[in-house]
């Protein structure tokens, strides 16, 4: 199955995911701080979607007081990855909660 075909079978709307916190990168400019989530799966089916992806460390992630190895659930949209920020040909956009 090609990456393009796998994109078609994934939901196109905002969906719930679960991932594990691999690292938190704090920057002196808080807007550039990032969080690396690994083993990102669809919450409903448990299907692996992306091995790892960097996200901005948003206020919502900051208020969760996450530690390395924590499991985090969030909503996001699935899009094709043209920037190369995920470990797959798809990426997750606009994570919330």
- Residue 58: pLDDT band (50, 70, 90) is confident
Closest CA to 77 of 57, 50, 46: 50
Selected residue with higher pLDDT from 7 and 77: 77
Query: What are the extents of the domains in the chain?
Result: 3-96
Q: Do 40 and 92 touch, CB atoms closer than 8 A?
A: yes
pTM of the predicted structure, to 2 decimals: 0.77
pLDDT in tens, 36-46: 999 999 999 99
User: Could you give the angle at the alpha carbon of 59 between the alpha carbons of 55 and 64, nearest 5°?
Assistant: 90
Q: What is the mean pLDDT of the chain?
A: 82
Q: Would you give the distance in Å from CA 39 to the centre of its chain?
A: 9
CA separation for the pair 27, 73 (Å, rounded): 24
Q: What percent of the chain has pLDDT over 90?
A: 36
pLDDT in tens, 14-50: 889 999 999 998 888 878 889 999 999 999 999 998 8
Q: Where are the alpha helices (DSSP H) in 1-97?
A: 3-9, 59-63
Q: Which CATH architecture has domain 3-96?
A: Beta Barrel (2.40)
């Amino acid at each position: 199955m090609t990456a393009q075909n796998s994109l078609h079978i994934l939901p196109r709307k905002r969906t719930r995911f679960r991932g594990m916190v691999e690292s938190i990168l704090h920057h002196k400019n808080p807007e550039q701080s990032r969080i690396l989530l690994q083993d990102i799966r669809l919450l409903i089916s448990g299907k692996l979607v992306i091995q790892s992806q960097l996200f901005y460390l948003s206020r919502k992630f900051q208020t969760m007081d996450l530690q390395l190895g924590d499991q985090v659930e969030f909503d996001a949209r699935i899009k094709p990855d043209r920037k190369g920020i995920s470990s797959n040909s798809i990426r997750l956009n606009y994570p919330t909660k």
